[in-house]
């Protein structure tokens, strides 16, 4: 049995980071450590682009940061402005050409772009650009953005970015670098997070506030939905390019993606997960002897469930933290011996006990089944599964790697059928209202709940393609 909880999860999208300084700072190293705090958002590739005021130099490779960069690579990147990216591919295959940032030259200089999210009208825009002679070198939507910006750069970089952003639809948190500016952009609905921080020597943009703590920066504020910020020698300038939408931050940022020590749009991620666990007990109580969580994102909800129920919380699984992004697949003989590579039950805490197992979500269900089997083999007398989010029933088009309902167990089976499939004694999910309750009354933003209720803040690619063909 190969137990890897990451196999049965949504993938972590991407992470972006940018820094502007007035000199005297090793911005490449600063960006490296900022990206290190965002490594959970993407493990397929990493890249850093640095401007020295005259030109932009770029280094990017496949793999984790520690695989993509050496000390020598960092030392070659000298300048005062930098952007960086860690990637999990939601569009485009995994090859170094598709790694970000993307760097492009145009008549007035160079521009680099790093993007978290997904553009839903990218195929239409790519076709229009190809019709007027553009040749694309990658298969990712970020190249469409950089081509749109370069196309209008004669108007000045601010106008070019404004026009390009107006043409694209979908989710995006971007950092853009020219020879003398750092620009941040968040989509009109704020689906993907982006925030602004201050260091003594300048300003920082990043996907999550946890990166500020890593480099000693101070959080200033979240970038608002529909906002462009331009950072240069004059300081920070803000441009609103879209009507106020009220925001629709991706709910899965709080459920699973974000690090627990981040604060996104005024909501503390860890506290929201604990509240989800408390609400889950109120909605789905059960008599049991111990509450355990699936490491790592299921643990805060398990703490909340324990707190609300009075049932003791304890460690249920030991996580092997030295298993990297890839490892040698066990042989059939080892599989038959039920070898657990990443998670192994802590027998002394579950043997002879009625167990409440808490996880943040169920996507495909296969790992949940393996975890329950392992608990029973460790001697658990009952296993009651509680999920700290509603049923995932619909695909995501905005930066998550699930595009088809056939991949989702919640779209194809009832709760009773899922319970039978994963082999638990009972199964319950947090309700949609319960999730909203756990996220609190946030006056700044609402939430994108498309994968949970099928209602999306932006037209999906299917709707866009249909409308385009009907013209």
Output the known binding site for [4Fe-4S] cluster: 250, 396, 448, 451
Length in residues, the chain: 471
Contact 188, 173 (CB under 8 A): no
CA pseudo-torsion sign 81, 86, 92, 95: positive
For residue 360 the two structure tokens come to 């943040």
Extract the annotated binding site for Mg(2+). 297, 359-360
Coil/strand/helix, residue 167: helix
Give φ, ψ of 196 to 5 degrees.
Answer: -115, 135
For residue 258 the two structure tokens come to 């974000």
**H/E stretch holding 309:** helix 299-309
- Count how many Cα atoms sit within 13 Å of the Cα of residue 98 in the half-sphere of its side chain: 16
User: 């997070």: which residue's tokens?
Assistant: 193
Contact 340, 333 (CB under 8 A): no
Distances (CA, A) of 198 to 148, 206, 303: 30, 11, 34
CA angle 199–203–204, rounded 5-degree value: 95
**Residues noted as catalytic:** 14
Contact 78, 61 (CB under 8 A): no
Q: Which of 253, 266, 313 is nearest to 435 (CA)?
A: 253
Q: Report the C-alpha gap between 216 and 196 in whole angstroms.
A: 13
CB count in 10 Å sphere of residue 70: 12
Q: Which residues of 199-229 are buried (b: 16+ CB within 10 A; e: fewer)?
A: bebbbbbbbbbbbbbbbebebeebbbbbbbb
CB count in 10 Å sphere of residue 237: 13
Coil/strand/helix, residue 365: coil
Q: Report the C-alpha gap between 392 and 407 in whole angstroms.
A: 10
Q: Report the C-alpha gap between 471 and 234 in whole angstroms.
A: 46
Phi-psi region of 266 (alpha: psi -120 to 50; beta: other; left: phi over 0): left
For residue 261 the two structure tokens come to 């020590």
Q: Where are the alpha helices (DSSP H) in 132-258?
A: 142-151, 157-167, 210-215, 251-252
Q: Report the C-alpha gap between 232 and 184 in whole angstroms.
A: 12
């Amino acid at each position: 049995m190969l137990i890897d909880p990451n196999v049965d999860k949504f993938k972590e999208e991407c992470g972006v980071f940018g820094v502007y300084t007035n000199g005297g700072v090793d911005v490449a190293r600063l960006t490296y450590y900022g990206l290190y705090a965002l490594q959970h958002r993407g493990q397929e590739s990493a890249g850093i682009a640095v401007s020295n005021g005259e030109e932009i130099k770029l280094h990017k490779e496949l793999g984790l940061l520690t695989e993509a960069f050496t000390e020598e690579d960092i030392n070659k990147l000298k300048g005062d402005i930098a952007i960086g990216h860690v990637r999990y591919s939601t569009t485009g295959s995994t090859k170094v050409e598709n790694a970000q940032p993307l760097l492009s030259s145009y008549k007035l200089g160079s521009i680099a772009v790093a993007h978290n999210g997904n553009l839903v009208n990218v195929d239409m825009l790519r076709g229009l650009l190809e019709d007027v002679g553009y040749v694309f070198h990658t298969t990712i939507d970020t190249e469409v953005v950089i081509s749109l910006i370069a196309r209008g750069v004669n108007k000045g970089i601010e106008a070019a970015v404004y026009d390009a952003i107006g043409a694209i639809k979908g989710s995006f948190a971007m950092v853009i670098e020219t020879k003398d500016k750092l620009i941040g952009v968040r989509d009109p609905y704020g689906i993907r997070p982006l925030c602004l921080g201050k260091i003594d020597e300048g300003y920082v943009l990043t996907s999550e506030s946890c990166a500020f703590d890593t480099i000693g920066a101070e959080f200033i504020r979240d970038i608002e939905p529909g906002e462009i910020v331009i950072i240069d020698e004059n300081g920070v300038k803000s441009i609103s390019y879209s009507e106020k939408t009220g925001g629709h931050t991706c709910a899965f940022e709080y459920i699973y993606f974000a690090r627990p020590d981040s604060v996104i749009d005024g909501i503390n991620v860890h506290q929201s997960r604990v509240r989800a666990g408390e609400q889950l007990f109120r909605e789905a109580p059960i008599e049991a002897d111990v509450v355990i969580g699936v490491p790592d994102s299921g643990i805060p909800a398990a703490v909340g469930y324990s707190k609300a129920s009075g049932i003791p919380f304890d460690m249920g699984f030991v996580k092997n933290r030295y298993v990297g992004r890839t490892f040698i697949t066990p042989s059939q003989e080892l599989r038959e011996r039920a070898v657990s590579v990443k998670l192994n039950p802590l027998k002394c805490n579950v043997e002879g006990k009625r167990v409440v197992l808490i996880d943040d979500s169920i996507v495909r269900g296969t790992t949940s089944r393996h975890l329950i089997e392992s608990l029973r083999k460790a001697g658990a007398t009952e296993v009651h599964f509680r999920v700290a989010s509603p049923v995932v029933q619909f695909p995501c088009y905005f930066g998550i790697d699930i595009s088809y309902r056939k991949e989702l167990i919640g779209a194809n089976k009832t709760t009773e059928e899922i319970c039978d499939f994963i082999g638990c004694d009972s199964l319950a999910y947090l309700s949609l209202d319960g999730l909203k309750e756990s996220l609190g009354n946030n006056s700044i933003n609402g939430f994108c709940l498309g994968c949970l209720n099928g209602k999306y803040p932006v037209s999906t690619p299917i709707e866009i393609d249909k409308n385009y063909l009907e013209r």
